[in-house]
Amino acid sequence: METSKHEIRLIGAGWKSVSMIDVHGSIVFVLWLCGCNLKCPFCHNWRLASWDKEKCKILDIEELIDSLTASKNLIDYFHVTGGEPLIQWSELYKLLEIVKDLGINNSVNTNLTIVKPLEYMIKKELIDHIATDLKIPPEELFGLPSEAVNILWKLYLQGIKTVDEYGVLLELRIPVAKNIPLKVYSQYIDEVLNMLKNDRFYVVIQPLLGPPVTTPRDLGWCEKYCNPGDNLLHEVAEIVRDHGVTRVYVKQYIRT
């Protein structure tokens, strides 16, 4: 049975018709949804993650689809980010069905800890591309108590395994923080890359940015860990390349 646009109730902060920075090497239409199950201290969309009433509104799905249709021939993906989009997975499912019927590929930026809904949508062939951050170390970057982090890290690994088994194209992003030992990066990178059995992935190394570029959730945390030097980015990239990964991209930023 066809889903009506009027039946979809999603809470988000809006969209951008054309973006060249949200998926590496692709042009995308970006939708921002609200809500998240993590409290990452570096997050610059933390107001969306926290359901901020000034930022988060019920989306006009008719207007969204009209805008997306107008951009259809300019984009590679309809890209949904947040927050954590899978917090609203049942309504998102309905929207991705409509987008697929328009002949547009779907991309989801997810923390990979809401595994069962993700697998369900993958099985229904609604997701063509997944972007996720490998937050190293999770006990520092998830922003939650250790008991919760342990559970969520296991779910993250399960999510990685699920994406790999179904062969969905994966953009594995590694946000790099200063004052984290290289051996810690190596430990977690080894664990995750050893789980990826096919070559349907690429890796993007990017700095964790703080002020003045972003306004993170925890300014004190960001003073200690954000804005790493370029040398550290390339050292982390070399750890990835040592696994035989050839598609490794380093994102740097201009310092003034």
Read off the CATH number of the domain in which 117 is found.
Answer: 3.20.20.70
In the predicted model, what is the mean pLDDT of residues 163-190?
98
pLDDT tens-digit series, residues 220-229: 999 999 999 9
pLDDT of residue 254: 61
Can you read off the two tokens belonging to residue 174?
């590694």
DSSP for 14-42, written as a single string: EEEEEESSSSTT--EEEEEE---S---TT
Whether the pLDDT of residue 1 is over 80: the answer is no
pTM of the model: 0.96
* Structure letter (DSSP) for residue 4: P
pLDDT of residue 252: 82
Number of structural domains in the chain: 1
pLDDT tens-digit series, residues 95-116: 999 999 999 999 999 999 999 9
Q: How far apart are CA 135 and CA 177, in angstroms?
A: 10
Residue 132 within any structural domain of the chain: yes
Residue 159 within any structural domain of the chain: yes
Residue 36 within any structural domain of the chain: yes
3-state secondary structure of 2: coil
199, amino acid identity: D
Residues in the chain: 256
Q: Residue 168: give the domain boundaries.
A: 5-250
* Structure letter (DSSP) for residue 44: S
Whether the pLDDT of residue 48 is over 80: the answer is yes
Residue 6: band (very low, low, confident or very high) from pLDDT cuts 50, 70, 90: low
- Phi and psi angles of residue 117, each rounded to the nearest 5 degrees, phi first: -60, -40
Dihedral sign computed on CA atoms, order 141, 163, 87, 113? negative
Residue 174 within any structural domain of the chain: yes
Query: Whose CA is closest to 84, among 123, 37, 131?
Result: 37
Whether the pLDDT of residue 239 is over 70: the answer is yes
Can you read off the two tokens belonging to residue 23?
């998926």
Higher pLDDT, 14 or 4: 14
Angle at 173 between CA 169 and CA 150, to 5 degrees: 100
Residue 96 within any structural domain of the chain: yes
Residue 255 within any structural domain of the chain: no
Residue 256 within any structural domain of the chain: no
90, amino acid identity: S
Residue 39 within any structural domain of the chain: yes
174, amino acid identity: I
